[in-house]
Amino acid sequence: MQEIKIGKIYRHYKGNLYKVIDFAKHSETVEDMIVYKSLKTGDTWVRPAYMWNEIVDNKGTLRFTEVIE
C-alpha cells in the first residue's frame, strides 16, 4: 500500500490529476478522510482514506497513484 502524502500529486485511475491538501476526520464517525484538489477544475474533494488505495479492477489498478516528478 502506498503512503498518502500531503502536497503530492496523484493520478486518478480515470486520468485526472489531484493534489492532496490535508488529512481530516469525519465529524460524525471520526473516519479518516483525505482532502484533495483537482488540478484541472480547482474543485476540492474529500474521500474516505480507506478508498484512496483501493484496487478498482481485476488488473490491480489503484484508485490513485502518486505522480513521481
**Over the stretch 31-53, which tens digit does the pLDDT of each residue have?**
999 999 999 999 999 999 999 99
Residue 30 has pLDDT above 80, yes or no: yes
Specify the length of the chain in residues. 69
pTM of the model: 0.90
Please report the pLDDT score of residue 14 as a whole number. 95
Please report the pLDDT score of residue 69 as a whole number. 74
Residue 1 has pLDDT above 90, yes or no: no
Residue with cell 492532496: 20
Domain 9-66 CATH assignment equals 2.30.30.320: yes
Please report the pLDDT score of residue 33 as a whole number. 97
Phi/psi of residue 52, each to 5°? -55, -45
